[in-house]
């Protein structure tokens, strides 16, 4: 059994009629299992639409842009869908195809270098309806997509639920490696513990049974953006930190000083900007120029994706392949969610609501009250906040104190 081509359709709602026409044209391919189309109308009522779009963006292997002036004018399409898909095209080789539905200056945009459909990038609406030319244009587009879908089907590998599937084989190989050589396990599954750790068999059995909850620290991304100690030392030097020398590399201490000397948001904003700068310095050549001024999550994803293509032993990838329902992390990035999505899992995210600001944010459980984490829909629970919500970050000494007070007062905050 083979998997069909997963097709993400990006479009402006003003072009919904053209999107619906495209889906009708592809209905025969979908019936044969050659394509599986997705657009934002596929999101179930009450579902977390941001998470649904993110999952679709990172699980598709083809993207179709229905291009018009409204498409080009959409900030959401440009910043969320287009940029992410172009990064995946460069890093992973997914096919991205502009379909020009209405006249616009698309050739002047980022997508202007891509081969477009219909032929020569002629807009769909310029084909006469009365002569059947517009229907023929859609047919030609469908034939192109059919040839790509058939080629994908011939080369794809089916993943089943049986013991012989590729994921299970890879995991079995990984477990055997850990059992035979725990000292040289590198970034695989766990890095803590003495070399003579005696409970590897029990730990690995718990992992395979889904009875293990990884608790992940910020050190997992130090190779990308440097350590918190390095950052604290730099801040102490830049801002004349006057306290004890032994605390100059303690980020909560130095951040607390900055929150008093400047204002409470200053260390949060500086934290994110300095990580962006460090990331660019270390890995700027590994990400497209279009992302150099992007958000930190997108930049980190672009940098790590190229590394993922070279090795399966990067920690996020290994964690994502494990059959676990819950991950607890103090890392503010969304790399773990992205790694889980690349394995085909519908990862969900939630924040520990340790302060009044976070309590007011929409919760995963507001939209999906019946959701329960499982290995196919795992939950990534962020204890210390997220980069995209600076007020949620646990950074200063006061933050840590408030965090402890919050979780002590309401133990239900921790899964």
- Please give the pLDDT value at position 411: 63
At 81-128, the pLDDT tens digits run 998 898 888 777 789 999 999 999 999 998 999 999 999 999 999 999
At 185-204, the pLDDT tens digits run 444 444 444 445 567 677 77
d(CA 106, CA 77): 14
- Please give the pLDDT value at position 164: 35
The 3-state secondary structure of the chain reads CCCCEEEEEEECHHHHHHHHHHHHHCHHHHHCCCEEEECHHHCCCCCCHHHHHHHHHHHCCEEEEEECHHHHHCHHHHHHHHHHHHHHHHHHCCEEEEEECCCCCHHHCHHHHCCCECHHHCCHHHCCCCCCHHHHHHHHHHHHHHHHHHHHHHHCCCCCCCCCCHHHHHHHHHHHHHHHCHHHCCCCCCCCCCCCCCCHHHHHHHHHCCCCCCEECHHHHHHHHCCHHHHHHHHHHHCCCCCCHHHCCCHHHHHHHHHHHCCCCHHHHHHHHHHHHHHHHHHHHHCCHHHCCCCHHHHHHHHHHHHHHHCCCCHHHHHHHCCCCEEEECCCCCHHHHHHHHCCCCCEEEECCCCHHHHCCCCHHHHCCCCCCECCECEEEECCCECCEHHHCCCCHHHHHHHHHHHHHCHHHCC
Which numeric CATH code is attached to 5-155?
A: 3.40.50.10140
At 236-262, the pLDDT tens digits run 999 998 877 778 889 999 999 999 999
Laid out side by side, the sheet with 379-382 consists of 215-216, 326-329, 379-382, 348-351
Burial class (CB in 10 A: 0-12, 13-18, 19+), 128: exposed
What CA–CA distances, in Å, run from 24 to 18, 31, 395?
10, 11, 51
Give Dmax over CA atoms of the chain in angstroms: 82
**369: pLDDT strictly greater than 90:** no
At 275-326, the pLDDT tens digits run 999 999 888 877 777 778 888 988 888 888 777 766 666 788 888 888 899 9
d(CA 359, CA 367): 15
d(CA 382, CA 385): 6
At 157-183, the pLDDT tens digits run 333 333 333 434 444 455 445 444 444
What CA–CA distances, in Å, run from 34 to 5, 153, 159?
6, 7, 16
- Domain boundaries of the chain, sorted by first residue: 5-155, 166-212, 218-413
What pTM does this model have? 0.60
* Closest C-alpha to 383, from 203, 248, 213: 213
**Is the torsion defined by CA of 213, 217, 218, 221 positive or negative?**
negative
């Amino acid at each position: 059994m083979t998997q069909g081509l997963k097709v993400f359709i990006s479009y402006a709602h003003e072009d919904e009629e053209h999107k619906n026409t495209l889906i009708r044209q592809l209905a025969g391919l979908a019936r044969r299992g050659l394509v599986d189309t997705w657009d934002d109308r596929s999101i179930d009522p009450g579902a977390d639409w941001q998470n649904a779009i993110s999952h679709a963006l990172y699980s598709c292997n083809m993207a179709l842009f229905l291009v018009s002036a409204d498409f080009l004018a959409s900030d959401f399409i440009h910043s969320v869908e287009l940029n992410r898909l172009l990064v995946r095209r460069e890093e992973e080789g997914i096919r991205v195809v502009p379909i020009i539905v209405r006249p616009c200056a698309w050739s002047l945009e980022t997508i202007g270098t891509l081969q477009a459909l219909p032929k020569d990038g002629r807009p769909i609406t310029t084909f006469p309806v009365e002569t059947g030319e517009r229907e023929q244009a859609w047919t030609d587009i469908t034939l192109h997509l059919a040839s790509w879908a058939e080629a994908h089907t011939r080369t794809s590998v089916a993943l089943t639920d049986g013991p012989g599937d590729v994921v299970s084989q890879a995991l079995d190989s990984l477990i055997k490696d850990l059992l035979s050589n725990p000292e040289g396990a590198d970034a695989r599954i766990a890095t803590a513990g003495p070399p003579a750790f005696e409970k590897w068999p029990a730990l690995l059995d718990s992992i395979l049974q889904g009875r293990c909850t990884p608790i992940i620290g910020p050190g997992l991304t130090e190779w990308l953006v440097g350590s918190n100690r390095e950052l604290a030392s730099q801040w102490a030097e830049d801002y004349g930190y006057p306290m004890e020398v032994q605390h100059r590399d303690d980020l909560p201490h130095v951040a607390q000083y900055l929150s008093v000397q400047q204002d409470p948001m200053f260390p949060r904003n500086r934290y994110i900007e300095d990580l962006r700068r460090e990331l660019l310095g270390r890995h700027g050549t590994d990400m497209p120029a279009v992302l150099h001024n992007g958000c930190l999550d997108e930049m980190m994803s672009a940098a790590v994706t190229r590394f993922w293509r070279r090795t399966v032993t990067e920690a996020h990838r290994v964690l994502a392949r494990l059959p676990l329902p819950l991950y607890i992390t103090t890392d503010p990035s969304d790399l773990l969610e992205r790694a889980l999505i690349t394995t085909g899992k519908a990862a969900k995210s939630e924040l520990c609501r340790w302060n009044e600001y976070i309590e007011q944010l929409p919760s995963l459980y507001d939209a999906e009250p019946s959701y329960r984490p499982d290995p196919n829909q795992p939950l990534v629970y962020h204890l210390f906040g997220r980069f995209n919500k600076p007020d949620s970050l646990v950074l200063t000494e006061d933050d840590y104190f408030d965090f402890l007070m919050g979780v002590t007062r309401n133990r239900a905050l921790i899964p």
